[in-house]
Amino acid sequence: MRLLHTMLRVVDLEKSINFYTEILGMKLLRRKDYPEGKFTLAFLGYGDEANHTALELTHNWDTDSYELGNAYGHIAIEVDDVYQACEAIKAKGGDVVRDAGPMKNSTSGTILAFVKDPDGYMVELLSPKRGD
């Protein structure tokens, strides 16, 4: 068994694809419209789906808002340098909601940050060296 993808429902598919590709550096792997169901699926990731986990963005054509609820946590992405990644994300117009720094209430040495995507989903940035 292996984890294939995580799905997020998004309101503005183009804006979300731009965030994940232009700001977080993913690639659009595939995209397909389903006219009879009135939805579009877009799969993004850092490598091909045969060897990497993907992010599935689902755009329901007739839905103009979602409630995130309080059960969802975040997607985590490993970056070489969390501080540099935050600066690059800010420079591209991304919303860094927790600047890079040590994990609170921990002595593990983990450096992390949080970014918010266009729909309000949280994305955690983590350093390769961590004690989580």
Alpha-carbon distance of 81 to 125, in angstroms, equals 9
Which H or E run contains 90? Answer: helix 82-91
Looking at the annotation, which residues are catalytic?
124
Q: DSSP class of residue 19?
A: I
Q: DSSP class of residue 76?
A: E
Tokens representing 122 are 């949280």
Alpha-carbon distance of 102 to 110, in angstroms, equals 6
